[in-house]
Amino acid sequence: MPPSLQSYEEVSSSLPMKVVPTKNGVVNGASSLQLEETEKHDLVLRVFRCLIADLCEQFKGGHPGGAMGMAGIGIALWKYAMKYSPSNPNYFNRDRFVLSNGHTCLFQYTFMHLVGYSNMTLDQLRSYHSKRTDSLCPGHPEIEIDGIEVTTGPLGQGVANAVGLAMAEKHLAATYNKPNYPVVDNMVFCMIGDACLQEGVALEAISLAGHWRLDNLVIVYDNNQVTCDGSVDIACNEDVNAKMRACGWNVIDVFDGSNNISGVTQALVTARASDKPTFINVRTVIGFGSKLAGDAKTHGAAFGPEDVANIKRTFGMDVDKHFYIPEDVYDFFHEARSRGQDYEREWNALVDAYSREYPELSAEFKSRVAGEMPQDWMKQFSDYAYGVPEVGWACLQPLAQNLKNFMVGTADLTPSVNMVWKGKEDFQHPDLKTACGINGSYRGRYIHWGIREHAMASISNGLAAYNKGTILPITSTFFMFYIYAAAGVRMGALQGLQCIHIATHDSIGTGEDGPTHQPIELAALYRAMPNMLYIRPCDSEETAGAFIAALNAKNTPSIISLSRQNLEQYPAHSSRGGVQKGAYVLMEQEDADVTLIGVGAEMCFAVSTKEVLEKKYGIKARIVSFPCQRLFEAQPREYKREVLQYGKGRPIVVIEAYAVTGWERYADAGFAMSSFGHSLPGATCYDHFGFSGKNIAPKVKALVEEVREVGIESLRGDFRDLNGTLGIKTEH
Amino acid sequence: MPPSLQSYEEVSSSLPMKVVPTKNGVVNGASSLQLEETEKHDLVLRVFRCLIADLCEQFKGGHPGGAMGMAGIGIALWKYAMKYSPSNPNYFNRDRFVLSNGHTCLFQYTFMHLVGYSNMTLDQLRSYHSKRTDSLCPGHPEIEIDGIEVTTGPLGQGVANAVGLAMAEKHLAATYNKPNYPVVDNMVFCMIGDACLQEGVALEAISLAGHWRLDNLVIVYDNNQVTCDGSVDIACNEDVNAKMRACGWNVIDVFDGSNNISGVTQALVTARASDKPTFINVRTVIGFGSKLAGDAKTHGAAFGPEDVANIKRTFGMDVDKHFYIPEDVYDFFHEARSRGQDYEREWNALVDAYSREYPELSAEFKSRVAGEMPQDWMKQFSDYAYGVPEVGWACLQPLAQNLKNFMVGTADLTPSVNMVWKGKEDFQHPDLKTACGINGSYRGRYIHWGIREHAMASISNGLAAYNKGTILPITSTFFMFYIYAAAGVRMGALQGLQCIHIATHDSIGTGEDGPTHQPIELAALYRAMPNMLYIRPCDSEETAGAFIAALNAKNTPSIISLSRQNLEQYPAHSSRGGVQKGAYVLMEQEDADVTLIGVGAEMCFAVSTKEVLEKKYGIKARIVSFPCQRLFEAQPREYKREVLQYGKGRPIVVIEAYAVTGWERYADAGFAMSSFGHSLPGATCYDHFGFSGKNIAPKVKALVEEVREVGIESLRGDFRDLNGTLGIKTEH
């Protein structure tokens, strides 16, 4: 059990505060530092709260309430508890701070300004909610801004990101630290509001953090008991502390978080010595100082000039001064820059000494810090013989085995997704002893995510964001269940975080599990998603190409979409190089009457349709393999026209067991799915929905004949769904 | 605190079992019924487990382990605890059973067979995993099958569905029950495995069930501590009982759930008298009887003939008999049919008496039971003046106020989505007293979902599935956050459950909240999703049309996609009738040079582009409003060609601030989004991405000129992205 609040309050005013002790009670930094006088804290609190009110008032919008309530927490974090360096926001061993309640972004921006992040000027603060496109103060924190670790805003995501950041630290520390050389020992502080504790993705991530005993992770809960609809108890009456303890967390209460900076600081410092992740439950008052304090109305709207004046009067500030920050407040935080430079200097010295004692390990460490991919990764491909049916495994296994930046996980589908490599070690707390005997350590690079697809994706974003290029997360589950993870996958694309999602069991070939497991429409989402490569290879050679494309996309996540069933192989035709261009001619045919687009597991039907067309109807068909629309769009127009031969005036038919959405750009007709699937064995299921050369060929023949008769122009604007278009249930 | 296990075991063998008492201790049914002899239970258990092994063996696949482990739970449910009628699976006041661990479907199918659901023959059981398209035994339970309440399979969904079913009962009971007339008093039993407790959607739903104190809800946890990857402790080490208690649930432990039918039955019966939802934690052994019992290998594969023989020997059964069910086993369950008919008869008599005493209320009740929509709902539209900017509210408010089947909720965005009507009452436990003073009762029809979008959608499926047409759930949040809810929304579409999702703040017009809140690609998912209407109206008249279309779609969920900002109104042009056809000519123009497709909030840019084209360039443009692709696809080909005028050889340009995916079917070019958005005020954001007539018109002009010069044919297969095509981050 953690110490009770009472003990904090008793000790907090008398004890000297230890700032930034390392784990295990070793003190690092100024051991004799005490908290500043209460008057200084009060001045900062008053100035900060008035500033927030002004910043929301200027453009009549924004989120003032949370930031004002959290002011004291901010002082505890940036003045006392966190290790960071304003003059080098990317200093490697910094504590990571995540604002999961991202709408309170002014909280973070303002403290960044006060402690001296040089880009975060007062002028920039005033750009919040302005029309300025160069603003560094968007409505939610964005990773592109110096000092922001992850983009947050969609609630709950930040909690998962923080778990990923904490895992990354644990893994790197276990891999590289040596006695007396804690080259990686940062903490992760994650600020949340009431909402984050309701989102499923956060609940999944909290469960995992407890399981892994991530003692370097601290959630600071801004418990103001207010959400948009009113008081939290309108939708939530849990015993949150008991719930967190049940999930394996330490819990510390702080009751007067609006003012009790000493209590919050003590809790933060105590959390560093915990053997579990720590949940600090800080009671605050939303909109502290406003006449609406404690009311949901202070959440997401400006106060109006009258209340802003009232707030200033309440805090003894000049009503006519706006955006006012006296020098005393800057002075209060002045040491932050030099302290940060000290941290950097100390760390650099530590790494230098480490390099002398462990030259090989430190070389690898420095390469990881530099975010470098081991240079011989392409070798893993050239060494490996393809043409095997288990395509995903065949590609991933040698990569994962040899490249230490790979962290590979699955949402409880190890036997199905088949990503395990020889000698893999699980990422686990080293003391864990499971009933099944599969254990691991923090050095492990194989992650059992449990049945938590959303957290898997969102935590992976945190792994990737720890330091760009240091860790390459690989996730895996059935493609259908990336619909659970979609919000997390999107946040990775938005942030430009490389991550490879291995989505197996795509299409209706998944079979007996039925329509709940057969993706029909999901590819449309990922093909439309900006900065995402959705790659659907047709055989193992193309799967190699998919991995190469995904590995080369340093600022873009990828989904590699694989089938459950073993696929035909096209060794004389398929090409990993072709995949890099998104689409290419798989089987050329002079004077073709029609171009067939084949995709992924349904390539076999394009090939059998071509055969039937030729043998039975004397119609010549060529086949384009089209694994990735996004990569194809990046090609020169000439290449695109050459592959698809629009100029020749021949029809183009796409064959894929998905909704046809998006293919209309390339094809005149599609043999696709317009309904959900059916529980049948995979091959039977394809047959049930008409996927066979025998069934498709006559439909293509009719199209070819129509074009011969009335010309290709008749197809413009009249896309043909060769497999029905119902799409709405008319009966039940 | 619930009674401990010990007390159950002490009493279970001596006490007479009360079967199906109603709430509050009133006994209903055979009060003196005792449990059958242990020998009879044992026979059923042995026969059941061998049958499951045979059913998976015949086609060498399926999920035997869970079903075998849960055999005893099944006896407790179908023999003793549940109120149902095999001869009328839809008997209104039946207890609802949800198999959230849907992969164990043979568990449910087999018990349905044994208790006498007439369609569920032994022949049907043997169709599991077969090639038979008429199988009633798909790989996961499907709602279309008599006796199945909801389609399950994607893990966690069933838990949320069950919460919805329980809410529906609570709401109907509070609305229609009278003293001595409990016309609605069923329970909901939800079976789960280890996985469901890890999924975020279930955790959200569990939190809500505790909040609402749904004492009619029982989760039966098949705690076998095994998932695909191994033992559960590989990814989860929570104190699940403590977590459930913290969420407001009663917890009952049963330790030997593989055999202790008395203990499980006692727990189920006790749960009926709880004042909270009940979590029964039943320890079982997966694959009980197999040599692999307790191992993950028994989860999702057949045992092989050797182990099947071993299982039969272990249970003293004839190794050479397959699919063997002795008459004794049928006899054991024989009473289920007549008992069910008794329940029906009693309920019908109760409703008859109720009708005599409360003729008006009972008429309404019967109409709800019949699933009838109040016939005058269209009147709410004709009565209301449109043209107001707050379009969603203007439509919904009179409907929600007057139609008692509407249950309207929001994921904590009451002030933003604006769905509250005068006199609304919240759905809440009647004893709840919130800090903000907003309370309610189970009669309430306004739902505060908290910040739980996924549970909102999935629980709403349960509300809709309680009895088709009795409750029409309306959900609401920002459109972007329907990405959190996508798996739930999909399950509604798959099941043909009418539900209206009001998605506000669509498009980049959302503004300052930035790219995390601005949907770009999400519409592509919902436009591609089978059996889903994604409707994006351009003004309040079209919003009325959207509601009419959604209300008429009795077997199809809809998303009505609305803007944050106030929109231009087109009273001389827009048409609610036009919306029913998906697209229609908003502004006709003879001899037009180009057709502009305008959509939703971006219609204003189509109109301003038309104006600039005409005034500045002398180019004539017509405008098609296109709120719903799915509805348009359902129109006759002639109508479609008339609206879009393909025959005229003039280009068509779509204007929408989304990814253009899908519009290529209708347009030759698009002015759309190829990147994520930007945090800027809404109008500035549109401007930033080039959305203005002034910017779009010259690009359209160039296209028109190209077509004049080289002909419309040049556009085929060369869709033009008039607003850029980057889509991949090349730098960071």
ipTM of the complex, rounded to two decimals: 0.95
- Chain A residues within 8 A of B646 when measuring between CB atoms: 716-718
pLDDT given at position B441: 98
The answer to whether the Cβ–Cβ distance between A452 and B204 falls below 8 Å is no
CA torsion A457→A462→A463→A468, rounded to 10°?
Answer: 120
Q: Does B450 touch chain A (CB under 8 A)?
A: yes
Q: Is A713 in Cβ contact with B713 (below 8 Å)?
A: yes
d(CA B485, CA A239): 25
* B713 neighbors A713 (Cβ within 8 angstroms): yes
B-chain residues near A139 (CB < 8 A): 511-514, 517, 679
Instruction: Name B482's Cβ contacts closer than 8 Å, sequence gap at least 6.
Output: B453, B457, B489, B501, B503, B522, B526, B559
What is the arrangement of strands in the sheet containing A278-283, beginning at the earlier edge strand?
A96-99, A188-192, A217-223, A278-283, A250-254
Summarised one tens digit per residue, pLDDT across range B244-270 is 999 999 999 999 999 999 999 999 999
Using the Cβ of A195 and the Cβ atoms of chain B, whether some distance falls under 8 Å is answered with yes
- Amino acid A725: pLDDT: 63
Q: What pLDDT does residue B717 have? A: 85
Q: What pLDDT was estimated at residue B725?
A: 63
Q: Determine whether B26 is exposed, middle or buried from the number of CB atoms within 10 Å of its CB (0-12, 13-18, 19+).
A: exposed
Name every residue whose Cβ is closer than 8 Å to that of residue B396 and which is 6 or more positions away in sequence.
B408, B419, B421, B474, B502, B547
Name every chain B residue with its beta carbon within 8 A of the beta carbon of A675. Answer: 530-531
Q: Do B233 and A200 touch (CB under 8 A)?
A: no
pLDDT at B110 (0 to 100): 98
**Which residues of chain B are modeled with pLDDT < 70?**
1-33, 382-392, 725-732
Active site amino acids of B: 453
Cβ–Cβ below 8 Å for A716 and B716: yes
Q: Do A452 and B200 touch (CB under 8 A)?
A: yes
Q: What is the pLDDT of residues B672-714, one digit of tens each?
A: 999 999 999 999 999 999 999 999 999 999 999 999 999 998 8
Amino acid B577: pLDDT: 95
Low-confidence ranges of chain A (pLDDT < 70): 1-33, 382-392, 725-732
Q: Is A63 on the interface with B (CB under 8 A)?
A: no
Q: Which of A142, A453, A542, A602 is catalytic?
A: A453
How far is A634 from chain B, CA to nearest CA, in Å? 7
Tokens of B152: 């399950």
What's the predicted TM-score (pTM) here? 0.95
**Residue A228 Cα distances to A644, A706, B13, B511, angstroms:** 52, 59, 52, 19
Residues of chain A positioned with their CB less than 8 A from the CB of B135: 679
Give CA–CA dist B209/B192, Å, rounded: 15
Chain B CB within 8 Å of residue A420 CB? no
Query: What is the distance in angstroms between the Cα of B650 and the nearest Cα belonging to chain A?
Result: 11
Write down the pLDDT at residue A16. 33
Q: Across chain B, what does the average pLDDT equal?
A: 92
Interchain CB contact of A165 with B (< 8 Å)? no
Inter-chain CB pairs, A–B, below 8 Å: 463
**B724 inside 8 A of chain A by CB:** no
A281 touches B: beta carbon within 8 Å: no
Distance from C-alpha of A18 to C-alpha of B610, rounded to nearest angstrom: 68
Residues 6+ apart with CB under 8 A from A560: A392, A500, A501, A502, A503, A535, A537, A543, A546, A547, A550
- Are A47 and A332 in contact, with CB atoms under 8 Å apart? no
Window 573-612 of B: residues touching A by CB (8 A cutoff) are: none
Own/partner long-range contacts of B316-319 (Cβ < 8 Å, ≥24 apart): B316/B46, B317/B46, B317/B47, B317/B50
Q: Is A568 a catalytic residue?
A: no
Per the DSSP assignment, residues forming a β-bridge with B226 are B231
| Category of B304 on φ-ψ map: left (φ > 0), alpha (ψ -120 to 50) or beta | left
Is A494 close to B513, i.e. CB distance below 8 A? no
Indicate yes or no: CB of B529 within 8 angstroms of CB of A512: no
Residues of A in contact with B436 (CB under 8 A): 230-231, 233-234, 296
Among residues B243, B247, B255, B238, the alpha carbon closest in space to that of B276 is found at B247
Helix extents (H) in A589-645: 603-617, 629-633, 637-644
What is the rounded distance in angstroms from the CA atom of residue B221 to the CA atom of residue B278? 10
Q: Give residue for tokens 């002490």.
A: B10
- Residue A398's pLDDT is 85
Asked if B199 reaches chain A (Cβ–Cβ under 8 Å), the answer is: yes
